[in-house]
Structure 1
């Protein structure tokens, strides 16, 4: 089971959306609009700015129109032609996201692609969205600052438990491997246990077939891990999101177990 002590109170997620979005905006305001984003080399700083603007617009609208799922034919905002226009659009839609989340409250029912269909899911996801893209902005500008350790620790948990993991939908199944991997967050005195495996199934609506590496958060107490991956929360979070290399990360144990873990957390995210 996921360690509940790593999760943050919902007001803290909301505060992080504010502070990480503000830092993102401030960094990009002084950045060359054509600067490349190292983790997303096809993007310029202007593209990054517009990406988070669209994301925050989408989730503000989704919370506002809850609990209905977003309509596929709704047109998004038009991208401004100037960098100053991009900054102004970000200010508008970022403020709207915070206002909608705050007005709804975390317990309200709302559509989400993740299993938990509440506004609180967007509190958490958008805090991490802002954090990682703030790091993108800083890397583009050459002005990297530290990640908040508590938010980064929850980011590691969200990544393995939601983004790359979780339970199988009714139309699929998970075949667990024999491997058990422990992720040690050294500065948080906490560990996350995961079991790599394979997700298999055919999505009814699209007919898309899945046979892909998967990972599940498990209760590993009382057992010995096949492998251990260790680092600070910030190093682990940034590394798992491919925003840093593996300097600061140590690996021990069965190489096959580590390879299975890496295969599960290296799949492209939609």
Structure 2
């Protein structure tokens, strides 16, 4: 695992939010998001903005427990019929979070829902939260979705870390990700060292970067492997290739949620 560095995460937070705002420009904000069918595009945007503001409140107050969402300032966001106001709200929230994270530094002790109880957790988490929901917005708006290779690879790393943490914490959603003798290989065909091996054991799964034979392999451009892994692109897409036991990959994708 290679973390990008705190300053890079703060920069990337602004960049990903800017790209999200661009994807939303001129769209019908009432359109349903196919990959998040309970949300419209406007609701997706407000979800991202609220998440960023929630993280900012946690870091700014050096919270030792979760901050109730109703105590987060300016968390409502503009309605779908006020796109310019919604855009301004998104921009302001990301700028506020980035500034707060820079001031706090990566090692400031704050509450998180994970094992890492530092402000740096929120910098990384909000970058990937924003990037993945940008994929949702791009799909809905019919515009291309691109991510820098190091950001895409780190997004996969973090998702595997989250799932491993959830399993170790007894989360029921990932309890079935076990069964010795099976493995999954993720292979990005256009980025150096962007390969992962997920191995199932009797007590759960483990993962590492590397190129090894597996029960099933998912191959394709890194941005597409990322989208399949986050269930934003179907594994049946002609943009990726599945070699081996497709049912095992489906088994993982159905259960790898948190």
Interval containing the TM-score (normalised by the shorter chain): 0.7 to 0.9
Is 1:48 aligned to residue 37 of structure 2?
no
Kept in 1, the 8 Å contact 2:57–2:67? The answer is no
Q: Which residue of 2 aligns with 1:15?
A: 11
Greater percentage in strand: 1
Distance 1:67 1:268 in 2: 29
Q: CA deviation at 1:148?
A: 1.7
Shift in CA distance, 138/198, structure 1 to aligned 2, threshold 3 Å: farther
Q: CA deviation at 1:240?
A: 1.3
Greater percentage in helix: 2
Choose which of 69, 75, 78 in structure 1 pairs with 2:76: 78
In structure 1, runs of 5+ residues without a counterpart are 200-213
Is 1:178 aligned to residue 177 of structure 2?
no
Kept in 2, the 8 Å contact 1:161–1:216? The answer is no
Q: CA deviation at 1:234?
A: 0.6
- Comparing 136-145 with 76-85, greater Cα deviation is found at 76-85
Q: Which residue of 2 aligns with 1:225?
A: 214
User: SS where residue 143 of structure 1 aligns?
Assistant: coil
Partner deviation per Cα, 1:233-267 (whole Å, 9 max, x = no partner) = 111111111222332322223x2xx5344323333
- Comparing 239-248 with 190-199, greater Cα deviation is found at 190-199
Partner deviation per Cα, 1:194-247 (whole Å, 9 max, x = no partner) = 113577xxxxxxxxxxxxxx64214778x7433322222111111111222332
Q: Which residue of 2 aligns with 1:126?
A: 126
Q: CA deviation at 1:189?
A: 2.6
Distance 1:243 1:109 in 2: 33
Q: CA deviation at 1:168?
A: 1.3
Q: CA deviation at 1:115?
A: 1.7
Shift in CA distance, 94/220, structure 1 to aligned 2, threshold 3 Å: closer
Q: Name the count of aligned residue pairs.
A: 247
Shift in CA distance, 245/175, structure 1 to aligned 2, threshold 3 Å: closer
Kept in 1, the 8 Å contact 2:52–2:93? The answer is yes
- Comparing 244-253 with 78-87, greater Cα deviation is found at 78-87
What TM-score comes out, normalization by structure 1 length? 0.79
User: SS where residue 239 of structure 2 aligns?
Assistant: coil
Distance 2:256 2:243 in 1: 25
User: SS where residue 106 of structure 1 aligns?
Assistant: coil
Choose which of 25, 35, 38 in structure 2 pairs with 1:29: 25
What TM-score comes out, normalization by structure 2 length? 0.82
Kept in 2, the 8 Å contact 1:33–1:46? The answer is yes
User: SS where residue 218 of structure 2 aligns?
Assistant: strand
In structure 2, runs of 5+ residues without a counterpart are none
Distance 1:32 1:198 in 2: 48
Distance 2:160 2:202 in 1: 14
Shift in CA distance, 133/220, structure 1 to aligned 2, threshold 3 Å: closer
Q: Which residue of 2 aligns with 1:210?
A: none
Distance 1:239 1:170 in 2: 25
- Comparing 146-155 with 45-54, greater Cα deviation is found at 146-155
User: SS where residue 252 of structure 1 aligns?
Assistant: strand
